[in-house]
Structure 1
Amino acid sequence: MRGDRGVDVRDVPPAPDYVQSVAATGVRIRATSRWLNAVSVDADAAQRAAIARLPFVAGVRPVARTRRHEHPLPVTEETPSTRAKGLSWPHLSALHVPELHECGLTGAGVVVGVQDTGFVLKHQAFAGVQVIAARDFVQGDDVVADEEGDTPGQQHHGTGVLSLIVADDGEVFSGVAPGVSVILAKTERIDVEEPYEEDYYVAGLEWIEGMGADIFTASLGYSDWYEPQQLDGKTAVVSQAATVAVANGLIMFAAIGNGGPDPKTLDAPADVDGVIAVGATDFDGVVTSFSSRGPTADDRIKPDLVAPGQDVYMARSDSLVAYEASQGTSLSTPLVAGVAALLLEAYPELDPAGMLALLRDRDAARRARQRPRLGFH
């Protein structure tokens, strides 16, 4: 996605002797960041002081915490709709996705990086999903479903998010862009006792960008450690990394958060200029009360877009066949990312700014239908 620029100095990892010196203080190295020239560690007060005294250390700061993810609404015993796409019809039709599907767009050839709490790929909705790579940055392996050491149910949130993009379950349920290929990163824990470490987010984002993803989406956000005046798109660690990702050409989506309706309740990295922040509406297009609001600390308008995020059906992680209704900007965000994948298939020259402009264009679907199909894929 970087065109002719290739790699730059930010792709050089932190100096190995620096990392070794930090480890020699007795801390556990949790993650490293090329873009931020930093390491994330588990350290007590004495170890933090020792690290701060190292001559090459520019500064030491605590990791951030995130708001709790929303819980799903009660499951309803609803018979799938007789319309095509069944339970997914309400949110697909609200976004005019069927019109894009009718002109042959599925997201084929587009690579989407999805970052979340974990993923169950045995659900029948994912029978045909094309997974390029998967990585668990929390446990340090390639298992993105629940495993020993995870809080049971950790995979639930990510499974639902992923289904909104790539599901293909016949007349029962469809994702927005079932033809995309995906790169999956598990970077988040759900245990309430532990800090939600944004450093894993940075590690996953760097990995996904390095794998050559076209689009990145994460329904994760960080704000509990930050004051509203720090949500300026430059202060939060995840925001600093997101700024690099967008500059590298990665089209990036972030949930604005579920801290509404008060102003300045958004999460990082939705505060970054260039990251497409997504809020939630009901099916009448009314912004939900829970959807976080901007503006950013420097008075930029956020979110950039809104999409259905209430009574939206998604795949359940505790079943291989079932779906459930849920709510949150966590659902709005992958829906918009899926639409972006369809548009990127039709307009592969789009960069992050061009994608945002096109998503805001009410005539985009009409033009996509009229565009000649020769030479797409």
Structure 2
Amino acid sequence: MNIRFAVFLAAIAAAVGSADALPRVHSGVHRTLRKQGSVNLMVVLSETTESTIESIQESAYPTRTDRINALKAKLEAGNKVASAEVESVLNKEASGTHNGYKNFWISNQLYVDSASFELVEKLAGLASVSKIREQKLVPMFKPIDEESTNELVGQEWGIQRIGANKVWADGNIGQGVIVANIDTGVRGTHEALKRNYRGKYGWFDPENQSAEPSDWHGHGTHTMGTIAGSKGVGVAPGATWMACRGCRNTDCEEVDLLWCAQWILCPTLPDTTEEDCSKAPHVVSNSWGDNQGDLWYKGPADAWIKAGIVPVFALGNSGPACATANSPGDYPNVIGVGATTSVDKLASFSSKGPTVNGRRKPDISAPGQSVRSAVHTGDAAYGSKSGTSMATPHVAGAVALLLSAQPDLAIDEIKVALYTTTDQVGLGATNYTCGGTSDKNWPNNQFGHGRLNVFNAYEGFRPAA
């Protein structure tokens, strides 16, 4: 251990005193500082956003936009007080101690780029800081298998299996609903997606602030195609889509995911100007995650729900073992999605519950194996992928169809509609009893409440003939 680092550790120990009362510097920070001399930090403030979010009562605001504006204003005001001490230190420090920072009011966390030994030492001594750790690199749930093809076969099997085509026959294709994803981006010129792109307030790229949607990887184009694509690949082809690039490649940097979370709640133009909370989407699809019982994204998820934005998360591809549900999909208030095959079996890779706290997950399952959708390699390119990443947008699209039928549905009403109308009879046995729940007991930790059937759910809100 070099002398400088030893002095740093000694200073930390002296500053923090009792372990119970003072900030905890994660061991990963120490390792990276020792190896590289600087570290990309996430500073977690002692004051959480929980009480602020809970203080917003829906009945107090005449419109959804009024509620979101009030929520954002309260979160910003609380963050200004909670982060004042940290920002004072960051603003006073010489440029050599860090390369800039970003303060996230949606979660009361600050990202600090390339923090030095000296800066970490100063931040560790602040009473307003709860935790100092490296920023997370959250894996995108990589597809299990992929196949490129330009051949279209009309309506994809997943569309028919969940009954979306029957909803379309009733004149409902998701019109009037705004859907979003946080992913690798979207090829906005793709033939299946170009006609229903939102345009203004429809795209945000935290790293580059690029003006138009793009996708260097392909995962995000595929998932958005399943949500809202035309050509028979999307569940809600009449919905309008918007997207945030939270994943630069196969990993998603925490700073990008938090910035996307704020943008989803209150969108801006691509250059971060002209905030307008009235442009918030109705549902956001997320096909990424990691670890179990990790509450790092709880603040954003809670804020979305308070704003009336339905959060749908993939549960992960960590199956077939039990207790493999990933975060944030394992949070109790989000819709966590498992994957099924074309013969209505649970996909072998689909993560299962229970969660580390014993809760049942997934909440629902949906088609996730050999799902064909748009891909990023050309404006008429398509391909098949497998994963809970592919199942999740089926559920997000289903939410859009329900909201198109009845725009004032509350999130809990949407969940009840989806969970109580699933298909259960005929689903293939998994021979697992995860958390003591067999396939014969519903809900269970394999399929959740069952396999999505959006037509059954829609029947409860179908306009009178």
TM-score range, shorter chain: 0.7 to 0.9
* Distance (whole Å) between structure 1 residues aligned to residue 211 and residue 78 of structure 2: 21
Residue 96 (structure 1) aligns with: 163
Structure with max Cα Rg: 2
**Separation of aligned partners in 2, 1:19 and 1:143:** 32
> Residue 66 of structure 1 aligns with which residue?
138
1:371 Cα deviation from its structure 2 partner: 5.3
When residues 162 and 374 of structure 1 are mapped into structure 2, their CA distance, relative to the original with a 3 A threshold, is same
Matched length: 348
Whether the 8 Å CA contact 1:250–1:351 is kept in 2: the answer is no
Map 1:243-282 onto structure 2 (within 5 A). 243-282=302-341
User: Deviation of residue 321 (structure 1)?
Assistant: 0.6
Q: Give the 5 Å matches for 1:1-377.
A: 2=58, 4-5=60-61, 6=67, 7-8=70-71, 9-12=74-77, 14-15=79-80, 18-25=86-93, 26-42=97-113, 43-67=115-139, 69-71=141-143, 73-75=145-147, 79-81=151-153, 86=154, 88-131=155-198, 132-146=201-215, 153-154=216-217, 156-169=218-231, 173-190=232-249, 196-210=252-266, 211=277, 212-223=280-291, 228=292, 231=293, 235-362=294-421, 365-366=455-456, 368=458, 373=463
Query: For 1:122-144, what per-residue CA distance to the aligned partner results, in whole angstroms no more than 9, with x for missing partners?
Result: 11111311314210013344444
Contact 1:112–1:182 under 8 Å retained in 2? yes
Deviation at 1:292, TM superposition (A): 1.2
Q: Distance in 1 between matches of 2:392 and 2:157?
A: 16
Q: What is the Cα deviation at residue 213 of structure 1?
A: 1.6
Computed over aligned residues only, the root mean square deviation of the Cα atoms, in angstroms, reads: 2.6
Shift in CA distance, 29/269, structure 1 to aligned 2, threshold 3 Å? farther
- More displaced stretch, 304-313 vs 210-219: 210-219
Q: Relative to structure 1, is the Cα distance of residues 374 and 288 closer, same or farther in structure 2, using a 3 angstrom cutoff?
A: closer
Give the match's secondary structure for 1:75. strand
Q: Distance in 2 between matches of 1:367 and 1:143?
A: 35
Query: How far is the alpha carbon of 1:174 from its aligned partner?
Result: 3.4
Distance 1:140 1:222, change over 3 A: farther
Cα distance in structure 2, aligned partners of 1:186 and 1:13: 27
The answer to whether the 8 A contact 1:291-1:329 is kept is yes
Q: Is 2:421–2:457's contact at 8 Å kept on the other side of the alignment? A: no
More divergent stretch after superposition (360-369 vs 316-325):
360-369
What is the TM-score with the length of structure 2 in the denominator? 0.69
* More helix as a share of residues: 2
Could you say what secondary structure the match of 1:184 adopts? strand
1:35/1:101 CA distance change after superposition, 3 Å = same
- CA 49–191 in structure 1, closer or farther in 2 if over 3 Å, else same: farther
1:351 & 1:45 partners in 2: Cα distance?
48
Q: Which string of whole-angstrom CA distances, capped at 9 and with x for unpartnered residues, describes residues 36-70 of structure 1? A: 22211222444322222245333322222323532
- Percent identity reads 25
SS at match of 1:113: strand
Judge conservation of contact 1:177–1:338 (CA < 8 Å) in 2: yes
* Secondary structure of the structure 1 residue equivalent to 2:370: strand
- Cα displacement (A) at 1:358: 0.4
**Equivalent residue of 1:310, what SS?**
coil
Q: What is the TM-score normalised by the length of structure 1?
A: 0.83
